[in-house]
Structure 1
């Protein structure tokens, strides 16, 4: 298997070298060490790095990515079926995130547009903290 230096892996993945070190400390990627103790990465790390970066963009926590990667083999490039299982596991969570983002976009646009001139109709208003009885967090905007 072709190996990449830390600089080459970082350049190919579009991240800083320090990012690779951070991901490695978090258990997201692995490196091999040369006899001179220099890091080397297999080219398969590039796919993992792409998944990490895309997952971060859509708000999937790094710990969730690490747990998902535990199901993938470290000693070889994962197969198409193994990657498909990983993505299937995230499907429902991503659908929920999409619904929440659409809800936020639709409601926030109206909220910003109102300028809070009508607190009786404002989705964020909570006079007397009446929503506290329903639980923590943004009760009115939590679900679509």
Structure 2
């Protein structure tokens, strides 16, 4: 009997970070998914809404509750020193746990940063890229 993993192997290559993210997401475990983020990282779960901390964790848990895998296709990775801009197409699709059909897709514009340990983590995870949110939106919530 195999033991359920409790961590994800991070990468020293920024171009592989989207793949690491997908592997973490596809475990369905929010604790594992949180490992691909810096502690203060910002997540944009819907256009115009930015969250950090516990609110980031809860927003990611909502995506995981669908019980569907994510596929990622990086378009561009631009790295300079310890910062990288990642442009990544993604799709979450299928029949969710609630029985309904789901298709969530977009082109993420993400920022990753190399930590002191040499591994890359998201500083900003913006899955819906340039999609517009409500007017006046975009401030981070830490609730």
* Band of TM-score, shorter chain: under 0.3
Compare the two structures and name the one with the higher strand fraction. 2
Which structure would you say has the larger RCO, counting Cα contacts within 8 Å and 6 or more residues apart? 2
TM-score with structure 1 setting the length: 0.24
Larger Rg: 1
